[in-house]
Structure 1
Amino acid sequence: MSAPAPRAVPASVVDTVHGRPVPDPYRWLEDSESTATRRWLDGREREFAAALKEWPLRDRLAADIRHLVDTDLWSPPRHRGRTAFASLRPAGAEHPRILAFDGPAPDRARTVFDPSAADPAGRTTLDAWEPSPDGRLVAVQTSTGGTERGSLRVLSAATGRPVEEPLAGLRYTHVAWLPPEAGLGDAFYYVRRDGAGVRGLWLHRVAPEGAPPVPDTLVRRCASPRTVPGVRLLGGRLLLATESHGTGHRNDLWLADVSAPGAAEAPDWAPLQVGEEAETAVDLGPDGLLYLRTTLGAPHRRICAAAPGSPGPEHWREVVPEDPGATLDGFTATGTAERPELLVVRTRLGISELTAHDARDGRPLRTVETPGEGMVSELEQDGAGGARFCYADVATQQTVQLLAAGAPRPVAWPPPGPGRRPPAPAARVRRTALHGRSADGTRVPVTLFSADGGDRPGPTLLHAYGGFGRPRMFGFSATVLAWLRAGGRYAVAHVRGGGDGGRDWHRLGARRNKMRSVEDLAAAADALVERGHCTRDRLCLSGGSAGGLLVLAAAALRPGMCAAVIASAPLADMARFERFGLGAMWTREFGTAADPDDFAALMAYSPYHVALESAGPDHPAVLLTGFHSDTRTGAEHPRKMCAALQGAGAPALLRYERDVGHGARAVSRAVDLAADAHAFAAARIGLPPRPGPPGP
């Protein structure tokens, strides 16, 4: 057996913040390219590789996950002129590709862009794409190596070849093409949110072949370096500019009619919502009215209507009121000018409900049947009075659904055809609802999934996120389904800080209230144990990003809660989180170290500092995952957290990858990551291998 890899050597680094000494002995690991950090990472890689060999379920889980994702995965079709576009990740492929086709089904589709062909190494991801109104061109966003900062290129839909030099230094920009009648040729609006150039909304004109490039025009500058710009073009003439403050808890919106001569290059902005403590999204109805999904006066969101000529909140008229028991997550305006309708998606503890309402008075018209109890996403109008959306649930891979105008149920798209691989058959999964009681008496909902149907205690993964007001949605996860089919159980804690109980539920677990998220997770774990679903030694906490912060904090503050923890790309050093990745944008969520009261709240649960102070051999076993190109949370967090845990004698491993980041990656790398993490959990909480081959 090889000698253990050397541990990190702590340094005598102590800051004084608001009169308080704050040790940071592993700050040297913040330098990702130093010789010392590289040497330390090499040691962690050897540690992880040695441990991986001892996890018996790893290969079986990987094989089952691959089987479950081995299907054609489509996006909803977008019709532009006589051409339709969709993305497809074919069964067995690493990345989705963009297809163009004529007619209702993609029987003779041609490939416009395939990231695997552009980069056979598989490091390039397709981040977003948008076809032009006439279907001749497609704006395609890609990034390489997981950085999520990349380029925007304009391709010919007929040949797939670029028609100009790409725009570089962009991060998930929105693209809003102008219609030909705007008189600017092929042109679109896009946003710069970081990288080169001024942050804000820009107009780009595609130069005709052989002509020199036309300089881009800045049409709206961001009010603050910490706001995130967005853009949409409604009905081909109403330009909507948005700025989200920090993490989207509130946004400002402006509207401009760009149909008049010269207006596209110099929009006359009218405020739609400015300075309100609210988050609002907008759609244009077939009747010419604006429809607004908003938290203004409605923590669970409502829908209002306004005329484009009088868009301010004082002119809004409520159409669909909020439902105190569910969050209004999505909507779109459909129907006709004479009979406009609103399709509304509400989420009730992870399950979507889709209903149609009369857009004039909000009267419910019908409940739209979905394929099961799962998640509805990407709901949008189809331009013909109907809508399209995606559906998935815990046991069913995502499918595209088309809903005709006035129809009570959708139909799956694309229709069956030669060479199309349908989703794997759904498995039988049992869903159980229970509640825990948090430290302040609040009832915390918990959802438990199992496939074995047994009532005896079993190995259980308890997942939580609890950040940024995002509700937990029960869509498809091959990893979760493979875990259930292997005999494990999977639970979700709907803790405060998330969006499961609306805007107020989020605020009660944000900023100086973040400790409530930790207490809610502990209450969920207690409920699972007390009701006999698992025991402490058969419980593993699991979370990623903000959820990784949550599970690390819970395990550090109450080490007897569970036997193991999976923390993927987590936040961990909350004294310095503002210095890494997008941390400076997240002060509305977590607070800021510059404020004494915020700092005291941060340090009460900061996993890195709690571990430095009190971790030991009795700490639950921890698997941290880190991604070298992570530009969101930053890879500094898992590196420093691993060093702190190991330095205190706690059982901790770091699975670290280069050339990937926080977001999308090749399918094979995603499968390997998921199989490794859940094989660790299986080994730690006693999920035994089952006889027989994996698969259906």
Structure 2
Amino acid sequence: MTALRDALDEALTAHERHPRPGLPVRGFVLDRAAGTPRPALRHADGRTVIAPDGHIHRMSPSPDRRHIAIEWAADASEDAVLGIVDVASGALRLHPEIRLRYDTVLWSDDSRCLEVVASRDDALVTLDVDSGAWTSTPLEPAHRSRLFPGGTRGLLARTTRGQGTSLFDRATGRQLGRWNALHGAFPLTDGVLVWHADGVDALACSGTTRWTRRDDSLRITDVTVADDRIVILGVRDGRTVVSGVDATGAREATIAAVGESTTTGVRIDDGILYLAVEGPLTPPRIVTETDAAPEAPTGQTRRLDVPARDGETLTAHLTAPAEGSGPRPLLLACYGGFGVPHLPVFEPTVPAWVAHGGAYVTAQIRGGGERGGSWRAAGSGARKQQAVDDLADIARALIDRGITRPDLLVLVGASLGGVVAASCAFQHPGLCAGVVTTAAPLDLLSLAEHPLGAGWRSEFGDDGSAASRNRLRRLSPLALVEERTDAEGLPAFLGITLGRDTRVRAIDTRRTVDALQRLGAPARMWTAPSAGHGANALDDLHALGLTVLEFAADVTSGGIR
């Protein structure tokens, strides 16, 4: 096993050398260059502005491009502070009192000051960039507030739990509208474009709706606007689609320059449309709409449509070596929650696994965002069990088609995906050889004990009633294990926790491992001490990825060569 571990280590290292490019914003990018541990700020032509010994979560260049506001964290936790980078000198000035967590910066037109909602302190902060002086105005903690560009003084979004999000023009105080969930707002020449959970709305400055676009089959994942050109990235039928919309709402031709690759982001910068594209065996790159499609890599990814037990069509994207056939050791990855599309993208463990004869599958199951709002609703709330059933149906289809066998199959999932993977494995003894969870809240009866757990209850259908608690008990991985009296049919279990996780506590994984070991099932816990739930340094990702590959190679009994 030592020789195989070394070979997997070498393959993983080789594929980690690929850079992680970023989309340009006002001529700057936040990207990770080949061979570097974490992202840095650069000019779009590649010149480095600053490569700090820390984590940059977000960046926002000033209109005059002399300064860049960043969210900076000393470690991999998601708790950050505001920093200002002087582009000419590369000097970084941190403001540790201005505490952020994925908050949008709003620059003044003259670039002399900025505003930001410091969400960790429920305060609106105004900063004079040159002097460093700042003021703070408390906000109501009952609301979540965000700033967006638009109008003459920007837009304020205010979210109240259970009441949706209202958007206000700060200059006039006028309410422009209310939506169930608002993802972003963008200035138009004479109005505002609002991206929300159901589509996009173009509004006049008065709040009057000019036009709307609704498509229940499309899950919008990114929007970019420049003047009155609008480009929308979304997922339909398990694939990404990029389309343009003009100021009247008329749909332009679909942009298909990236072929079958997955598009993960779009950005118009200095009049040019850029797209971030990648695939399971195709490292990320930035292309323009006129670039040619990426060349096919060694190996292949193909789409499999399989029937669910209730007749719905499920999709699995299978990546395997170009030569030979199954059954192969197979990693089956899932998510299935919060309307987030689970797409075939580049992750260095995939080509490393495939290079040694293994296969990898991205499962698209209900609860995710692969087929729009109805697809999400069918696998969330009181219907959360549907996501688990879908994963089991995909696993059985892969076995029935001879692509893998139960003794060669490992289920993997992170965060909510870890809950779905573990629940599937424990509900269906003998289905797989192993299951790996990363940073997963495995005790669904105690969600509120996690830092952000109160916000997850609706996703799992926990309304506090006896009926919902009974339903969660049948779904919760920890409860499923604790109710067993023997280990027959249970897979090997690897529970991964993150030492700097500010979302999910490690206690659920520890309790699950202890319960499995009491039954005599093979189970262990592994912690990445300096990794968090968000962006991580390359060495942390390497250790985590190698741990998963080594576990999978071990439990599939030498199927990997």
- TM-score (norm. length: structure 2): 0.92
Q: CA deviation at 1:164?
A: 6.3
1:332 aligns with 2:219: no
CA distance in 2, matches of 1:675, 1:511: 34
Q: Determine helix, strand or coil for the equivalent of 1:679.
A: helix
Task: Give 1:393's aligned residue.
Answer: 279
**4+ aligned runs moved over 4 Å, structure 1:** none
Distance 1:168 1:281, change over 3 A: closer
Structure 2 residue identity aligned to 1:345: L
Local SS of the residue matching 2:486 = coil
The alpha-carbon distance between structure 1 residues 110 and 514, as it changes in their structure 2 partners (threshold 3 A), is closer
* 401, 421, 427: which one aligns with 2:298: 427
Task: Judge conservation of contact 1:164–1:207 (CA < 8 Å) in 2.
Answer: no
Within 5 Å, give how 1:497-508 maps onto structure 2. Answer: 497-508=367-378
For 2:222, the aligned partner's letter is G
Higher strand share: 2
Q: Which residue does the alignment assign to 1:73?
A: 20
CA-to-aligned-CA distance 1:237-259 (integer Å, 9 cap, x gap): 4324253859xxx941313154x
Return the match for 2:103 from 164, 170, 173: 173
**CA distance in structure 1 between the aligned counterparts of 2:201 and 2:40, rounded to whole angstroms:** 37
User: Aligned ranges for residues 202-213 of structure 1 at < 5 Å?
Assistant: 202-206=124-128, 208-209=130-131, 213=133
> For 1:34-49, what aligned pairs fall within 5 Å after superposition?
none
CA distance in 1, matches of 2:558, 2:182: 43
Q: Measured at CA, do residues 661 and 332 of structure 1 come closer, stay the same or move farther in structure 2, by a change above 3 Å?
A: closer
Q: How many residues align?
A: 560
Give the whole-Å Cα distance in 2 for the aligned partners of 1:270 and 1:132. Answer: 27
Residues 131-530 of structure 1: matches in 2 within 5 Å? Answer: 131-163=61-93, 165-180=95-110, 186-194=112-120, 197=121, 199=122, 202-206=124-128, 208-209=130-131, 213-218=133-138, 221-224=140-143, 228-234=144-150, 237-243=153-159, 245=161, 251-258=164-171, 268-274=172-178, 276-279=179-182, 281-285=184-188, 287-296=189-198, 301=199, 303-311=200-208, 315-318=209-212, 320-322=213-215, 324=217, 326-334=218-226, 340-364=228-252, 366-384=253-271, 386-403=272-289, 409-410=290-291, 426-438=297-309, 440-530=310-400
What's the counterpart of residue 612 of structure 1?
A: 482
Cα deviation, 1:136-175, whole Å, max 9, x if unaligned, reads 2222222234321122122322223344643344322221
Q: Please give the alpha-carbon distance, in whole angstroms, between the structure 2 residues aligned to 1:542 and 1:499.
A: 19
Judge conservation of contact 2:245–2:251 (CA < 8 Å) in 1. yes
Report the secondary structure of 1:141's partner residue: strand
Runs (5+) with no aligned partner, structure 1 = 1-53, 117-123, 259-267, 404-408, 413-422, 691-696
**Mapped partners of 1:647, 1:627: distance in 2:** 24
Distance 2:8 2:485 in 1: 31
The verdict on how the C-alpha distance between 1:361 and 1:610 changes in structure 2, with shifts beyond 3 A counting, is: closer
One-letter identity of the residue aligned with 1:510: S
AA matched with 1:624: G
1:538 aligned to which of 379, 403, 408 = 408
* CA distance in structure 1 between the partners assigned to 2:505 and 2:165 by the alignment: 28
Give a deviation string over 1:402-459, Cα, whole Å, max 9, x none: 34xxxxx2489xxxxxxxxxx9993331313121323x44332222221234343211
Between 354-363 and 655-664, the greater mean CA deviation after superposition: 354-363
Summarize deviations over 1:375-408 as a string: whole Å, max 9, x none. 2233122243x322311112211112234xxxxx
Instruction: Write the letter of the residue equivalent to 1:395.
Output: L
Name the amino acid aligned to 2:220.
Answer: L
Relative to structure 1, the CA distance from residue 294 to residue 665 in structure 2 (aligned partners, 3 Å threshold; closer, same or farther) is closer
Q: Which residue is 1:23 aligned to?
A: none
Between the aligned partners of 1:110 and 1:146, the Cα distance in structure 2 is 22
Cα distance in 1 for partners of 2:560, 2:251 equals 53
Deviation at 1:632, TM superposition (A): 1.1
Q: Residue 655 of structure 1: CA displacement?
A: 0.9
Matched AA of 2:40: R
Question: In the superposition, relative to structure 1, how do residues 512 and 367 fare at CA in structure 2: closer, same or farther (>3 Å)?
Answer: closer
Structure-2 separation of matches of 1:401 and 1:253: 36
Which residue of structure 1 aligns with residue 534 of structure 2? Answer: 663
Q: Which runs of 5+ in 2 are unaligned?
A: none
Rounded to whole Å, the distance in 2 between the matches of 1:73 and 1:93 is 10
* In structure 2, C-alpha distance between the alignment counterparts of 1:466 and 1:157, rounded to whole Å: 41
Residues 640-655 of structure 1: pairs in structure 2 closer than 5 A: 640-655=511-526
Distance 2:359 2:465 in 1: 41
| Aligned 8 A contact 1:396 1:427 in 2 | no
Conserved 8 A contact 2:61-2:67: yes
Look up the match of 1:635.
Answer: 506
Q: CA deviation at 1:331?
A: 3.0
- The question of 1:603 aligning with 2:469 is answered no
Instruction: Report how far residue 57 of structure 1 moved.
Output: 2.9
Q: Summarize the Cα distance change of 1:588–1:279 in structure 2 as closer, same or farther, 3 Å threshold.
A: farther
Residues 179-217 of structure 1: CA deviation (Å, up to 9, x unaligned) = 22xxxx7322222333xx3x25x13122644x8x34223
* Closer/same/farther in 2, CA of residues 269 and 685 from structure 1, 3 Å limit: farther
1:623-663 deviation line (CA, Å, top 9, x unaligned): 11011221112222212211111122111011113232222
Q: Cα–Cα, structure 1 residues 207 and 382, in superposed 2: closer, same or farther, change >3 Å? A: closer
Distance 1:333 1:134, change over 3 A: closer
* Distance (whole Å) between structure 1 residues aligned to residue 314 and residue 361 of structure 2: 13
Task: Answer yes or no: is 1:98 the counterpart of 2:41.
Answer: yes
**8 Å contact kept, 1:89–1:97:** yes
> What is the letter of the counterpart of residue 343 of structure 1?
V
Q: TM-score, normalised by structure 1?
A: 0.75
Whichever of the two has the greater Rg, that structure is 1
Distance 2:373 2:497 in 1: 31
CA RMSD, Structure 1 to Structure 2 (Å) = 2.7
**Equivalent position amino acid for 1:310 in 2:** G
Q: 1:575–1:593: 8 Å Cα contact kept in structure 2?
A: no
CA drift at 1:305:
2.1
Q: Report the 3-state secondary structure (helix = DSSP H, G, I; strand = E; otherwise coil) of the residue aligned with 1:151.
A: strand
Q: Percent identity?
A: 26
One-letter amino acid of the counterpart of residue 154, structure 2: L
Separation in 1, partners of 2:115, 2:466: 42
Q: Is the 8 A contact 2:282 2:297 kept in 1?
A: yes
